[in-house]
Amino acid sequence: MTDTRTLRRKSDNEVVCIACGQVLPRADAREYDKYGDRWDRAGKDFEYLCKPCHRDCCHQPRNGLEETLIRAEGEHADTQAFITEYYTLVSDDISTES
């Protein structure tokens, strides 16, 4: 997996959309806070979306989705391992809700 932390900013004035990879001026981008609270800015590094990708996002509550994705990513270097771990985590969450 590509480490998006190295792709977030091209410079202070340019950012990279995390969805499509487009490089655009920071002023034309939308901040994306993977924890869902972009108003609490202390100690955070934001990621960015271009306007079309931002419009395409679901703006509904994510109920722990980002935390699950981060846990699934762990040390997994390949896509299949990530998907397997994500499925395991989601399956565990579903079984504890029942």
Domain ranges of the chain: 4-56, 65-97
The secondary structure of the chain, three-state, reads: CCCHHHCCECCCCEEEECCCCCEEEHHHEEEECCCCCCCCCCCCCCEEEEHHHHHHCCCCCCCCHHHHHHHHHCCCCCHHHHHHHHHHHHHHHHHHHC
What's the pLDDT band for 8 if we cut at 50, 70, 90? low
Query: Mean of the pLDDT values across residues 40-59?
Result: 84
The predicted pLDDT at position 3 comes to: 45
The predicted pLDDT at position 4 comes to: 43
pTM for the full predicted model: 0.52
Of the two residues 47 and 60, the one the predictor is more confident about is 47
Q: What is the pLDDT of residues 33-48, one digit of tens each?
A: 777 676 777 877 888 9
